[in-house]
Amino acid sequence: MKNKTIAAWLTFLGGPLGLHRFYLFGLNDTLGWLLPIPTALGLYGIERVQENGLDDMASWWLIPMLGFTIAACALNAIVYALMTPEVWNAKFNPVANSDDPAGQTNWGTIGAIVVSLMIGATALMSSIVFSGQRYFEYQIEEAQKISQ
């Protein structure tokens, strides 16, 4: 039996590593194995910024991958947590009754929604702001080079 609360928290906490996909769909899930790639690239971008500074162009593309992956997993956690028990059990517990307790919403599920919304929105906005700011700063620097 796949529990909705466990799935929501696992999607939020371990989503960038694909852990929720393995919980829900098994170890043969391709997306579960692919999710750590953008997470690792984003972490590599953070490492590049620490080594090379904020002027490192590759980090402008790498860091938002981590943020967007975290935001997407947070959104997925919200979607899982807001599923009705009937839909949840039909999709992930097909042999169970439609009102089986595994698909019920409780305070732990609500907590997963709240935390996922806060952290996911922060990660999304931070990624957009970081990449946008770096892009426009680069454009200004290039324009100054051309005008001289």
> DSSP characters for 115-126?
HHHHHHHHHHHH
Query: Percentage of the chain with pLDDT > 90?
Result: 70
Show me where the domains of the chain are located: 4-147
Please say whether the dihedral angle defined by the alpha carbons of residues 119, 2, 4 and 106, taken in this order, is positive or negative: negative
Tell me what pLDDT residue 131 has: 86
Q: What is the pLDDT of residues 128-142, one digit of tens each?
A: 998 888 888 888 988
Tell me what pLDDT residue 67 has: 95
Tell me what pLDDT residue 63 has: 92
Q: Supply the pTM of this predicted model.
A: 0.88
Least confident of 8-12, 22-26, 84-88, 93-97: 93-97
Nearest partner of 71 among 108, 118, 10, 9, judged by Cα? 118
What is the C-alpha to C-alpha distance for residues 81 and 112, in angstroms, rounded to an integer? 7
Tell me what pLDDT residue 49 has: 92
- The DSSP letter of residue 83 is S
Specify the higher pLDDT residue, 124 or 134. 124
